[in-house]
Structure 1
Amino acid sequence: MATPHVARLLAGTLLGRLPNGMAPAALVLLVMHSGGTVAFGGVLSALYILASALSQPVKGRLLDRHGQTHVSGPAALINAASLLTLATISTRSQPALATALVALAGTCTAPLEAGLRALWSSVLPDPGQRRVALSADTGSQGLLFVAGPMLAALLAGQYGPGAALVATAATGLTGSLIVLTAAPSRSWRSPTRHPAARSTLHNPALLRLLLALTGIGVANGAVTVWAVDMADQHATAMLTGLIPGAYAAGSLIGGLLYGRRPWPGTTTGHLMGGAAAFTLAWLPLLALPGPRPAVALVLLPGLFLPVVMTSAFLTADRLAHGGNLTETCAWMILALGVGTASGTALGGALAAHPLAAATLPLAGAATTLTVLATARRHRAAATATR
């Protein structure tokens, strides 16, 4: 953190991404406040998340071509303007306009996460320092999706949902400005693309990595729904926040521990070992624990999540040569988002079956481990053939 620009870039990116957790909750509250249905609020919330996720690769490619200032700056302004406009209209009487504004706001979320991942290689040329920074980054981002909804709900309760949207817009814009006015972001340019370099989707190794991250997303989405199901089963509403909060706290602790000192082994070994530990850590949930043990047990997989994510992004840094690093990071973020959406949907469908719902996070993690193990065997076989 003492390295020039590191603390500023990390703090600014986390602040700029806090609206990713605030906006969906604020939209539901806004619709309900205007007399609309929870179903419509859920649609708008899902639309915002989906638009943000699906637009990531396009924004990543634009960053690689035009730099961060010329892409993330206008995106942050459009996102803020759309959210501010939403705060002034009635979603009940103007549903079409509200839907269009939400889609525009989601599409134009500033690609700060992908941009930061691309910046680390220039700000921190030492691989060991990059691992530490990535550990802090990946370990802390889970807290955004716990703190964001809580902050939106608090502001909406005190000042109304319109104020929550205004705060969401202001927070995203402030975080973006902190990052984009930093010297590394202003001067960053993607390396010249090598004529023989393949795009992200034409690189088999990167495709396997994307598939593996989808499994991580399934586990992330499934545990959130499982928390809601646990709260319903045990008539303890606070479990809805406590279980994801414990999972995020475990991730933060794991990120700090992983980044605290160098660990023996290679990045590939860390990726495989982290994925194996992440998978095994979900096994205790199959015993269908009660509320207190459940909160404690989800700390375990959270501890190993930063190991997997940090190693995955370091692996992508090595594989994505040729001037498309930001685009690759954006595809990885999209893969996580698709997995999270799938895990949420499957978790909802399995909610009536407690054992199946508790198994789903394990299934997602096991998918990740299987894909990585298969890819490793494929590389070994290819090397032996040569």
Structure 2
Amino acid sequence: MVSTVSEARPGYSQLLRTPGAWTFLLPGFAARQPFAMLTIGIVLLVQHTTGSYGSAGVVAAVTGVAMALFAPQSGKLADRFGQGSVLLPGVLVHTVSVGALTALALADAPLWALFVAAVPTGASVPQIGPMVRARWAAKLEGSPLMATAAAFESVTDEFTFVIGPVLTTALCTGLHPAAGLIAEAALTLAGGLAFAAQRRTQPAVGRADGRTPADHVSALSVPGVRVLAAAFLGIGAVFGGMQVSLTAFAEEIGHPGVNGLLYGVFAAGNMLAGIACGAIAWKSAPRRRLLTSYTALALAASGLWAMHTVPLLAGLGLLVGLCIAPALITGYTLVENLVPASARTEAFTWLTGSVALGQAAAVTVAGRLADEYSASTGFLVPMAGTVLALVTLLALRSRLAPRAPGIVVRSGSETAKERVIGHRVPVSVD
């Protein structure tokens, strides 16, 4: 379906005039807030009850790994059976699981019990961001506004990362260590149910060509999606490493409340860059922009470990945030050209899941480093993650070539093969 919005200039004002957009944007905004609150809420609560950043990081990591493993399955089910059918049971399971994890932590339960509760907590995180992106893709297929929608979604995601950590930190330090997770569960339940109720704007489950759910294409069978998923691990490393290391840094200097401010500055940079990316009419190819943005991100993240004062850390954190948004936006934009419409939600959730997996690994490693050495050593994690992601992109950049019109990626015995109906069409990327 192509939007009826005028395509003379693909700006935010035109995007937001897309018919029906606000019906899923408003509940989607509320429902995606918990994604930015969950990890920091777990870290703050478990660190309070155990006194260890390492233990807090491991519990948060279990949650992140569970989310990374189950998010693509959630996206695949949403593509097959509809977003509402997946969200309704998902938000209920998540709310109950967060409640159990919170109660166990407050009861000083053994670490293994927290791990048991952390698995369903992470596995049931509602994939609102990918679902909203899939709704945009369904409405704007073939429109130049799709790139603007990708930028808008990145801005929205980063706005949640401005609000979420600050709100969670304020609740945990000002009210009660469990207040952040309680608020996360409440927002998940209310926002998730409201978003699920908007069934008119969800992508169609059926296919115009008559294919059935059994013929569903796997997004992971596309080589470019695998490359992007690997690269997005580096972005997750930045998020996870920053969350734990900033928290430890604030504790080291005796001002725990400054953690929310520092992370908010970092996320604000991401949001500002996202706004700018959406306003620019790019002439360079997406693949080239992705490599450029990852290079800048790796360079900026490599200096975090050397910052030992609040102003310096805030300044470089702002720069790191400015570099993340272009990488995220370009990656999500590339997905539209890499996979067929029937697999987009799944593809988006693979990227989101990769961010969560990278975040989980970073939280674990940075937490251990902060416990055994200092907060500064925890900042080595974002550096390592972004450098490895950049190397991966440079080595496998040829796999990010968009599929040509008529290409179909088969599942089953033909997984990962691309066949053009009638003849092969050459694809130019740069």
Classify the TM-score, shorter chain: 0.7 to 0.9
**Match of residue 227 from structure 2:** 208
Deviation at 1:240, TM superposition (A): 2.6
CA-based RMSD of the aligned residues comes to 3.8
**What are the within-5 Å matches in structure 2 for residues 93-242 of structure 1?**
102-145=118-161, 147-152=163-168, 154-155=170-171, 167-186=183-202, 188-189=204-205, 191=207, 192=211, 199-231=218-250, 234-242=253-261
Query: Residues 23 and 129 from structure 1, CA distance in 2 versus in 1: closer, same or farther, beyond 3 angstroms?
Result: same
Distance 1:177 1:156, change over 3 A: same
CA deviation after TM superposition for structure 1 residue 295, in Å: 0.4
Letter in 2 for 1:214: L
CA contact (8 A) 2:53 2:367 kept: no
Partner of 1:372: 393
Quick check: 2:31–2:128 contact (8 Å CA) kept in 1?
yes
Partner of 2:266: 247
Instruction: Give the Cα separation in 2 of the matches to 1:31 and 1:234.
Output: 20
Q: Which deviations, in whole Å up to 9, do the C-alpha atoms of 1:269-328 show, x marking residues without a partner?
A: 221222222223335446545321220121112112111111111112211226222222
Q: Report which stretch shifted further, 59-68 or 17-26.
A: 17-26
Task: Describe the shift of the 1:195–1:279 C-alpha distance in structure 2 as closer, same or farther (beyond 3 A).
Answer: same
Partner of 1:10: 25
Query: Are the counterparts in 2 of residues 221 and 343 from structure 1 also a CA contact under 8 Å?
Result: yes
1:348 aligned residue: 367
Bigger mean CA offset, 218-227 vs 280-289: 280-289
Structure 1 partner of 2:301: 282
Per-residue displacement from partner, 1:227-273 (whole Å, max 9, x unpaired)?
24543554443443333221101001011111123222222222122
Look up the match of 1:61. 76
- Aligned match for 2:87, one of 72, 80, 104: 72
Partners of 2:61 and 2:364 within 8 A in 1: no
1:323 corresponding residue in structure 2? 342
What secondary structure is seen at the aligned counterpart in 2 of 1:55? helix
Q: Distance in 1 between matches of 2:51 and 2:302?
A: 41
Cα distance in 2, alignment partners of residues 313 and 288 from structure 1: 31
Q: Aligned in 2, Cα 1:375/1:41: closer, same or farther, shift over 3 Å? A: closer
TM-score (norm 2): 0.74
C-alpha separation between the residues in 1 aligned to 2:277 and 2:46?
42
Native 8 Å contact 1:123 1:184 kept in 2:
no
Query: Separation in 2 of the partners of 1:330 and 1:220?
Result: 17
Alignment match of 2:382 (pick from 361, 369, 376): 361
Q: How far does residue 73 in structure 1 lie from its aligned partner after superposition?
A: 1.8
For 2:54 and 2:24, the matched residues in 1 are separated by: 37
Cα separation, 1, equivalents of 2:172 and 2:294: 39
Alpha-carbon distance between aligned partners in 2 of 1:332 and 1:8, rounded to the nearest angstrom = 25
1:296 to 309, 312, 315: 315
Range with greater deviation from structure 2 (336-345 or 99-108):
99-108
Counterparts of 1:264 and 1:128 in 2: how far apart (Å)? 13
Q: Distance in 2 between matches of 1:287 and 1:87?
A: 35
Assess if the C-alpha contact under 8 Å between 1:73 and 1:110 holds in 2: no
1:337 matched to 2:356:
yes
Higher mean Cα deviation, 116-125 or 281-290?
Answer: 281-290
Greater Cα shift, 342-351 or 326-335:
342-351
Alignment length, in residue pairs?
383
CA 1:24–1:127: 2 relative to 1, 3 Å: same
Structure 2 unaligned residues grouped into runs of 5+: 1-15, 402-425
Decide which structure has greater helix share.
Answer: 1
With normalisation by structure 1, the TM-score equals: 0.81
- Of residues 43-52 and 203-212 in structure 1, the stretch that sits farther from structure 2 once superposed is 43-52
- Check 1:383–1:101 CA distance in 2 against 1; reply closer, same or farther (3 A cut): closer
CA distance in 2 between partners of 1:90 and 1:230 (Å)? 23
Give yes or no for contact 2:138–2:341 (8 Å, CA) kept in 1. Answer: no
1:279 aligns to what SS in structure 2? helix
| Structure 1 contact 143–245 (Cα < 8 Å) conserved | no
Contact 1:31/1:92, CA 8 A, preserved across alignment: no
Displacement after TM superposition at 1:204 (Å): 2.3
Which 10-residue stretch deviates more, 145-154 or 123-132? 145-154
Secondary structure of the residue that 2:271 maps to in structure 1? helix
Structure 1 Cα separation of the partners of residues 334 and 121 of structure 2:
31
Distance in 2, Cα, partners of 1:97 & 1:223? 27
1-side partners of 2:299 and 2:105: how far apart?
Answer: 48
Unaligned runs of 5+ in 1: none
